[in-house]
Amino acid sequence: MDMEISEFAQLLKASRNLVVFTGAGISTESGIPDFRSPGGLWEKNKPIDFSDFMQSEEARRESWRRKFAMDSVLSGADPNKGHLAISSLYNNGRVRAVITQNIDGLHQQSGVRDEDVIELHGNTTYAKCLSCHERMSLDDVRKIFEQDEALPVCGTCGGIVKTATISFGQAMPVAEMRRAEALAQSADLFLAIGSSLVVYPAAEIPLLAKRSGAKLIILNREPTPLDEYADLVLRREIGETLDFVTKM
Ligand code: NAD
């Protein structure tokens, strides 16, 4: 066994308050492309900024087109070894909650209770009115959109409807950010997995943990801007690494 893995295992074993933070990289092994890897979504579709979504009907149409095109990938995706390793730590009482930037619901599918998954960037499995926050099912949105790409409006207040995700330029969810910050401040070990750690303010959370006294481990195939602050950086594949280390 190499030094990195044995150090990872020792840090895990010694931790009494482990917090896990994930990004799109944990779901690539489930067949969901991330943003910034070669061939990732960033190269194909530049994200639609929230202000464009609000101002332009065409931007709203494009975002629903992308959403429904992506749904066939999402609906076929199952949790992979990485998700399952985290849920086994959670089920053993080693991890209290998972903070995620992901919107795919795979941590919940892997067995982490919904209330213990803190979704910083929302969830793509339902839609919401941006004015009165009434939920709308995606089936209902799809039925409307299939008629000449008509845009859905809220049945209660007539407001603009959007997937329940947080776009670039959109305000972060306040309660989720507070919970994530509190968890980061109380952690003794913080594990950042599969994130390029360039999307702010989410990327502040691992730094907050480090500044509050936690040890920081970064598991990501590529370098990140926070590597210099980490106690341990593992440039490895997520699934096999977590599967191996959590079974030691
Ligand atoms: P990102 O695409 O910027 O970074 C992902 C990182 O994961 C990359 O640095 C890549 O090298 C690494 N990676 C990918 N697969 C890996 C593997 N198997 N093993 C090791 N490393 C691997 O993603 P981000 O930092 O999460 O930020 C992008 C934003 O994209 C987030 O806000 C997120 O909401 C959104 N997003 C979510 C999903 C999802 O829900 N699955 C998918 C795409 C984008």
- Verify whether residue 107 is a known catalytic residue: no
Contact 194 CB / ligand 1 (< 6 Å): yes
Q: How far is the CA of 34 from the centre of ligand 1 (A)?
A: 4
Do β-strands 122-129 and 135-136 pair in parallel, antiparallel, or remain unpaired? Answer: antiparallel
The residue nearest atom 32 of ligand 1, judged by CA position, is 101
- Helix runs in the chain, H state only: 3-14, 41-44, 50-55, 57-75, 81-91, 106-109, 138-145, 174-186, 204-211, 238-246
Q: What is the mean pLDDT of residues 62-66?
A: 94
Q: How many angstroms does the Cα of residue 236 sit away from the middle of ligand 1?
A: 14
State the pLDDT at residue 90.
96
Indicate where the chain has its CATH 3.30.1600.10 domain(s): 33-76+123-165
**What Cα–Cα distance (Å) separates residue 187 from each residue in 19, 97, 110?**
6, 11, 23
The confidence band for 248, taking pLDDT boundaries of 50, 70 and 90, is confident
Centre of ligand 1 from the C-alpha of residue 197, in Å: 9
At 36 the pLDDT is 76
Which residue do the tokens 């106690």 mark?
231
Ligand 1 neighbour 101 (Cβ under 6 A): yes
Task: Give 199-235 pLDDT, tens digit per residue.
Answer: 899 999 999 999 999 999 999 999 999 999 999 999 9
Residues of the chain with CATH 3.40.50.1220: 1-32+78-121+172-248
Which candidate in 83, 107, 121, 133 is catalytic? 121
Is residue 121 within 6 Å of ligand 1 at its C-beta? yes
Q: Are 184 and 192 in contact (CB under 8 A)?
A: no
How far does residue 140's CA lie from ligand 1's centre (Å)? 29
The pLDDT of residue 46 is 83
Q: What is the pTM of this model?
A: 0.93
92-138: per-residue pLDDT in tens? 999 989 999 999 999 999 999 999 999 999 999 899 999 999 999 99
At 41 the pLDDT is 66
Query: Do 112 and 55 meet the contact criterion of CB atoms below 8 Å apart?
Result: no
CA distances from 174 to 13, 32, 128, 179, 201 (A): 33, 27, 17, 9, 12
Write down the pLDDT at residue 188. 97
Of 34, 75, 193, the one to substitute when testing ligand 1's pocket (max ligand atoms within 8 A of C-beta) is 34
Question: CA–CA distance from 166 to each of 49, 62, 86, 163, 236 (Å)?
Answer: 10, 16, 24, 8, 29
Query: Is pLDDT at 143 greater than 70 in this prediction?
Result: yes
List, for residues 7-58, the tens digit of each pLDDT value: 999 999 999 999 999 999 999 999 998 887 776 666 677 889 999 999 999 9
Query: How far is it, in rounded angstroms, from Cα 100 to Cα 7?
Result: 24
Match 């790409």 to its residue by tokens. 149
Q: So what's the pLDDT on residue 34?
A: 87
More confident residue, 149 or 47: 149
| CATH superfamily of the 33-76+123-165 domain | SIR2/SIRT2 'Small Domain' (3.30.1600.10)
| pLDDT of 170 strictly over 70 | yes
Arithmetic mean of pLDDT, 67-91: 93
HSE, side-chain direction, 13 A CA sphere, residue 2: 6
The yes or no reply on domain 1-32+78-121+172-248 and CATH 3.90.228.20 is no
